[in-house]
Amino acid sequence: MNWVLVVVGGMIGAPLRYLADRAVQSRHGSAFPWGTLTVNVTGCLVLGTLTGAVTAGVASPQLQLLLGTGLCGALTTYSTFSYETLRLAEDGARPQAAANAVVSVAAGLAAAFAGAAVAAALWG
């Protein structure tokens, strides 16, 4: 039964990632991957909050499978982040590639910590 929760979450997260990425990227006229950055940081925030809620006992492990593993797993994308960073570097935009790598990791970690802190403040 647990695998069904992961599959359902993934079925929601994958198209949500694509649509959110396209919506954000269409608003920017640059090659910088704003859409991927947005979905990855958002996924980190959701996962941090959800993990904090599960730790506090206000969310179930099944919800963590559905939203954490399934939805966030499909929403966030390390492979696209890596590809887009490589593409920037190969196209001669090395400062943007470096910025993408640094900002993505730092903002993702900050979002996960912020989500966990919010959960602890609300339910800890």
- Average pLDDT of the chain to the nearest whole number: 97
Cα–Cα distance measured from residue 124 to residue 105, given in angstroms and rounded to the nearest whole number: 26
Cα–Cα distance measured from residue 34 to residue 24, given in angstroms and rounded to the nearest whole number: 7
The number of C-alpha atoms within 13 Å of 11 and in the hemisphere containing its C-beta is: 6
Neighbours of 63 (CB within 10 A): 15
pLDDT at position 42 is: 98
What letter would DSSP give residue 47? H
pLDDT tens for 75-91 read 999 999 999 999 999 99
Cα–Cα distance measured from residue 23 to residue 52, given in angstroms and rounded to the nearest whole number: 29
pLDDT at position 85 is: 98
Q: What is the mean pLDDT of each run of 10 residues along the chain (124 residues)?
A: 97 98 94 97 98 97 97 96 98 98 98 98 93
